[in-house]
Structures are given as structure tokens and as C-alpha cells.
Amino acid sequence: MTGIKTTGEKKMMFFSGRAHPELAEAVAQQLGVGVVPTKAFDFANGEIYVRYQESARGADCFLIQSHTAPINKWVMEQLIMIDALKRASARSITVIVPFYGYARQDKKHRGREPISARLIADLMKTAGADRILAVDLHTDQIQGFFDGPVDHLFALPLLADYVGAKVDRSKLTVVSPDAGRVRVADRWCDRLGAPLAIVHKRRDKDVANQVTVHEVVGDVQGRICVLVDDMIDTGGTICAAADALFAHGAEDVIVTATHGVLSGPAADRLKNSKVSEFVFTDTLPTPNELELDKITVLSIAPTIARAVREVFEDGSVTSLFDEQ
């Protein structure tokens, strides 16, 4: 006989950066594990130090970090944590990114521009990530930027079932805020049995977050409209789309988005909007100033936990969303 046989079982370890500890704890609770104790702090000059308090040798490691503000700090911390796991002899490293930073920079619109979403994927791969698990990427093509498995999770069942249980479905119209979201809105229509409408917009290519709404395509007169998007940043696009729907006779407007980025003037825009409810998931922490009655935050932790368990047990992540 040559070699040595082992009888050890697979071991899962769950790690978290400092960006969104509440979500990490919620996912860990769903999994029935604890978050591995980690020593992490910033040096005086801003450099980040990380050291895990437990051995990760031979373990299947899952590292969660959402790219919230300040985004560059948390991206860098995640890269450092991946490198630390690689050098700690982890068996595998799965990076969980509930909100994938720089996802909107997924292609070149004009010359001399970067494709930053690809750069983020390259950095994670170089740092040592074996797999990426993300929620509602801005575009599907980002999956191809990473040279390895990418598990793309969807918040649609969570959001759609919440809205469907609240409203009269006979009066419901699903609205895409632009042409790019039509495919997602179509899936909402299939799940809720509702018709589709589209808000046509034009974005100023020279001014960030500047949108002009032109027209509404579809019947929204007297309807309850649910605007579906992947993220809301400053709120300009979605609030302008809602105003257009009200101008075309909509009875009510509900806005849903997976990622509530909510930066800059978003707080004032959401507060002053005629939209009756904004529904997000907790892929990103909600700013304290936006704890409003009209904002509802649903937990994405059960979805992430189910996907993590499927990955660890060599199951099928796709099966979680087959009903779509």
C-alpha cells in the first residue's frame, strides 16, 4: 500500500468582513454556524489588517462582504481576507458578494473607459477566490468576467411574493423603468400574472445620474404599478419614472429593488416621492436617515444560506430558482 488515507469529513467555515455584519450574522444563523472570529482593524494610514482567530486549513470557506460605502475600502478588505484564506491553506474559497461593486461599469460606452466590473472579478481571482456567489448582478454578462463558477442568486421570488400578497392582482401592472430591465419585468409578469408597461428614458451621457423621462408604453391608467429595478442609487431614475406613471393616471406606485444603494440625495427624493412604498432587500445596510414608514426591507439571508448549503453539499443552486 502506498499513500495515506484519511477519514475526515468536509468542514464548512463562514467568514465576514466589516461592511455589513448584520447580514453576515443573519446568514450564519440560517446556516446554524457561527461567524469565525476575525481580528480586523485599520492602521493610522488607512491600511487594513486581518487575521483569523481559528485555523482554516482544509476547510471549505465562505466569505461574505457586501460592497457598500465606502466601497473601495470594503473591496480591498475582501481581497485581503481572500488572500489570508489562501495562505491559511483553505480547501476552497467561495466569495459571497450580495452587492457586487462597480457592476454598472460592465462595458465601454466610449473610448478610453475601463471595464471595472471585469477588474473586480480579476482581482478576486488573483487573490485566490475559487467561486463567486452574488445576488442580482446588474447584467448577466458579469458572470463571464470571472474565470470560475459564478452562482447568480435572484431576489425576484422574495420581492414578487411580498408585493403579490399586498395588492389586488387584478389591478396590478408590472413596470420596467427602462428597456434594460424588460427581461426581469417579464419574469415578474409571469410570476404575478400581470401585464407589462415600460418607461422610456434617455440618460445624459455627460452628466451622472441625470435622466429625462419621455413616455410610458403600456396601459397604466387606474392601475397599481410596481416598478422593478435591480438597484436604486440616488433615486433620480426611479422617482422620475414614478412621476411619469402618476402623470399617465396610475392609481398607486410601489417601487421594488434588490439593492438599496441610496446615496447622495436619495433620502430626500424618497421622502418627497408620491410612491406609497419602497421595497428593498438587505443586501446593503439601509442608512439611518431612511428609516421611513414607506420603506420595507426584506431579508435576503435565507436565500443566501440555501445557496451556500447547496454549494457546500455539492447540490444545485439553480434548483432554488427553477420555478422562475
Over residues 91-104, the pLDDT tens digits come to 999 999 999 999 99
**Position 212 confidence tier, pLDDT thresholds 50, 70, 90:** low
Q: Is 45 annotated as a binding residue?
A: yes
Q: In the structure, what pLDDT confidence band is assigned to residue 319 with cuts at 50, 70 and 90?
A: confident
Domain positions in the chain: 12-153, 156-298
Confidence at 106, pLDDT banded by 50, 70, 90: very high
Written as nine digits, the cell of 100 is: 457586487
Q: Which positions ≥6 away from 277 have C-beta within 8 Å?
A: 254, 255, 294, 295, 296
Closest CA to 62 of 22, 8, 98, 116: 98
Inter-residue contact 87 to 55 (CB < 8 Å)? no
Active site residue 108: no
Question: Does residue 178 have a known ligand-binding role?
Answer: yes
Nearest-angstrom CA–CA distance, 238 and 178? 10
235 labelled ligand-binding: yes
237 labeled binding residue: yes
- Mean of the pLDDT values across residues 138-165? 96
CATH number belonging to the domain at 156-298, selected among 2.160.10.10, 3.40.50.2020, 3.40.50.2000, 3.40.1080.10: 3.40.50.2020
Residue 297, pLDDT > 70, answer yes
Residues 6+ apart with CB under 8 A from 86: 93, 127, 128
Please say if the pLDDT value at position 209 is more than 80: no
Query: Is 203 part of any known ligand binding site?
Result: yes
Q: Is 161 annotated as a binding residue?
A: no
Cβ count within 10 A of residue 251:
15
The H helix count followed by the E strand count for the chain is 8, 14
For 117-126, the pLDDT digits (tens) are 999 999 999 9
Return the pLDDT at 211.
58
The tens digit of pLDDT for each residue in 15-70 reads 999 999 999 999 999 999 999 999 999 999 999 999 999 999 999 999 999 999 99
| Confidence at residue 207, expressed as pLDDT on a 0 to 100 scale | 64
Q: What cell does 204 get?
A: 445624459
pLDDT band at 287 (very low <50, low <70, confident <90, very high): confident
For 12-153, the fitting CATH number among 3.90.470.10, 2.60.120.10, 1.10.3720.10, 3.40.50.2020 is: 3.40.50.2020
| Closest listed residue to residue 63, CA positions, set 89, 87, 98 | 98
Query: Which entry of 5, 201, 271, 294 is annotated as an active-site residue?
Result: 201
pTM above 0.85, yes or no: yes
**Residue type at position 3:** G
Three-state DSSP state, 38: strand
Element spanning 306, H or E: helix 301-312
pLDDT in tens, 251-283: 999 999 999 999 989 989 999 999 999 999 999
Buried b (16+ CB within 10 A) or exposed e, 20-45: beebbebbbebbeeebbebebeeeee
**Is 168 part of any known ligand binding site?**
no
